[in-house]
Amino acid sequence: MSGLGGLNKTPDSIVISVVQSQLFDVATPTHLSQAVQHVVALVERTKRAYHATDMVIFPEYCIHGLSMRTNSDIMCTLDGPEVAQFKAVCRAQNIWGCFSIMEKNDLGAPWNSGLIINNAGELVNYYRKMHPWIPVEPWYPGNRGISVFEGPKGVKMSLIICHDGMFPEMAREAAYQGAEVLLRTAGYTPPIKQSWELTNRTNAFTNLMYTVSVALAGTDGTFKSMGEAMFCGPEGDILVRGNNSADEIFACEIRADEVRRRRMHWGVENNLYQFGHRGYVAVKGGASDCPYTYMKDLVAGKWVTAEDAEVTVKDGTSCGFEPPGQTFVNELDEKK
C-alpha cells in the first residue's frame, strides 16, 4: 500500500518523496553552485507536487556528479554555503531532507557524506559512506559506523549510500539498531539495475523494514545514471517503482506500524529476531552464539577469503588513481 503514491496520507503515517535528480558534470565552484540551486528548486517543486510530503530524499552525487573529481575548490564542509542552503530550504518548506555532499577530509581523500536535515533546518544525522564503490570511487571509507535517527513523527531511520546496500550486513546493522526505514541514495548506472532491485527487496524482507532508494538520472554527456527510484515494503514487495527520467519525483506513504507489527508478532520469517535465537523451539531462548567465521575473523583483524591470494584488483590504479599511501583511521576507535 503506497497511499496512491503518497497522495493519500493517514494520520499515523508519513509520506516520503524521492527525486531522481539530473546528473551534472561539476568541475568548478560555479557548476557546484548551479547544482545546489537546482536541488533547492526541486525541494520546492516536491512540496508543490506532493503537499503531504514529510521528507524528501536526493541521490548520492546530487550536487557533485560522477566525475570523481577531488579538487579542493568543489569539496564541501558541514558549515559551508551548500549545506546552509539545504538547511534554509528545509526550514522554508517545512520539510525534512536527505542530501549528498563530497566533503573535505583532513585525514586525506574526501568523504562521501550523507546529511539528514529536519524541517527546522537542523542537521540531525550525518553519515560517511562505509563502502565506496571500488575501484571506481576514491573516497575515504566511512569511520563513524551506521547510525539510526528519529525522522518525521519519530519513525526510526538509517541512511546508507549506494554500494553499501550490496552488503547485507549494512541493512542488518541498521535494523538491529531499530531502523524501521532504510534510506539508500545512489549514483548507480544502468548495468546495476537488476542488482539494485534484488538488494532493495532483500534488505527489506530479511529485516522486516521499508527500504527507500533513489539514484541519479539522465546523462552529463559522459556518464548515464539509471533513476530507478524504489519503495519496498517489509515483505519485500515493491510499492512504488520509478523510471529513468531525470528530475522525476515519486512518493509513497510509509506506515511504521506495519514494521512494528511484523517484528513483534511474526514467528515464521521473523529473521531479525531469529538470527540471535537459533532453534528456539528446541532449546530454551534459542542459540545465541556466533558460529560465523567471517564475523570472528573481521573483529580480530584477520579477514582472509578463500580466494584472497588470487584477487587481482586491490587498488584504484585500473581506474586512474595512484596507489594510496595513507592508513585508515577509525573515529569509533579514537573515542574508546
- 282 within some domain: no
93 CA to centre of own chain = 23
Q: Enter the DSSP assignment of 16.
A: E
Indicate whether 157 and 186 sit together in one domain. yes
Distance of alpha carbon 330 from alpha carbon 142, whole angstroms: 8
Where would I find the H helices in the chain? 3-6, 29-49, 81-93, 168-176, 193-207, 256-265, 271-274, 293-299, 331-335
My answer on whether 54 and 158 are in the same domain is yes
CATH number where 52 lies: 3.60.110.10
User: Does a structural domain hold residue 134?
Assistant: yes
Q: Is 315 found in the same domain as 222? A: no
Share of the chain above pLDDT 70, in %: 98
pLDDT in tens, 259-293: 999 999 999 999 999 999 999 999 999 999 999 99
Q: Which of 90, 129, 248, 252 is catalytic?
A: 129
Stretch 206-228: mean pLDDT, rounded? 97
- Describe the crossing of helices 168-176 and 193-207 by its angle, rounded to 10 degrees: 30
**Catalytic one among 60, 82, 228, 258?**
60
Of 222, 245, 274, the last residue of a domain is 274
Host domain of residue 324: 293-335
165 and 310 fall within a common domain: no
Q: What is the average per-residue pLDDT within 143-160?
A: 97
Q: Give the C-alpha separation, 7 to 71, whole Å.
A: 42
Q: State whether 260 and 306 are in the same domain.
A: no
**N-terminal to C-terminal alpha carbon distance within the chain:** 44
Domain assignment present for 281: no
Strand partners, 148: 158
> Strand pairing of 217-219 and 210-215?
unpaired
For CA atoms 207, 231, 15, 124, the dihedral sign is positive
The torsion angles phi and psi of 157, rounded to 5 degrees, stand at: -130, 160
162 is catalytic: yes
| pLDDT value of residue 3 | 74
Q: If DSSP codes are grouped into helix, strand and coil, which group holds residue 198?
A: helix
45: left (phi over 0), alpha (psi -120 to 50) or beta: alpha
The domain total for the chain is 2
| Rounded distance between C-alpha atoms, residue 13 and residue 252, angstroms | 10
What pLDDT score does 332 carry?
Answer: 66
279 assigned to some structural domain: no
CB 69 within 8 Å of CB 26: yes
Q: Of the candidates 223, 247, 274, which is a domain's last residue?
A: 274
Of 256, 289, 192, 202, whose CA–CA distance to 54 is shortest?
256
Contact, 76 vs 104, CB < 8 A? Answer: yes
Catalytic-role residue among 76, 90, 98, 162: 162
**Do 87 and 214 fall into the same domain?**
yes
With respect to residue 177, please indicate whether it lies within any of the assigned structural domains.
yes
Residues 221, 329 share a domain: no
What mean pLDDT is predicted for residues 294-321? Answer: 95
Specify whether the CB–CB gap between 126 and 146 falls below 8 A. Answer: no
Considering the domain architecture, whether residues 310 and 234 belong to the same structural domain is answered as no
244 and 217 Cβ atoms separated by less than 8 Å:
yes
Let me know whether 318 and 243 are in one domain: no
Q: How much is the pLDDT for 70?
A: 97
Answer left, alpha or beta for residue 297, where phi above 0 means left and psi between -120 and 50 means alpha: alpha
State the Cα–Cα distance between residues 303 and 324, nearest whole angstrom.
Answer: 20
pLDDT digits (tens, 9 = 90+) for 33-69: 999 999 999 999 999 999 999 999 999 999 999 999 9
Torsional class of 289: left (φ above 0), alpha (ψ -120 to 50), beta (otherwise): beta
What pLDDT shows up at residue 334? 58
- Measured CA to CA, the distance from residue 49 to residue 103 in angstroms comes to 31
Q: Which triple of cell numbers denotes residue 109?
A: 581523500
Half-sphere exposure of 276 (CA within 13 A, CB side): 6
What is the percent of the chain where pLDDT is above 90? Answer: 94
284 in a structural domain: no
252 an active-site residue?
A: no
Q: What is the DSSP letter of 12?
A: T
226, containing H or E segment: strand 224-226
Radius of gyration (C-alpha) of the chain in whole angstroms: 20
Q: Is the domain of 231 the same as that of 317? A: no
Task: Give mean pLDDT, residues 181-188.
Answer: 98
Q: From CA 296, how far away is CA 88, in angstroms rounded?
A: 45
Tell me, yes or no, whether 225 lies in a domain. Answer: yes
- How far is it, in rounded angstroms, from Cα 333 to Cα 336? 5
For residue 129, indicate whether it is catalytic. yes
Label residue 177 by pLDDT band (50, 70, 90).
Answer: very high
Q: Is residue 229 part of a domain?
A: yes
| Residues 213 and 256 grouped into a single domain | yes
Same-domain pairing of 123 and 250: yes
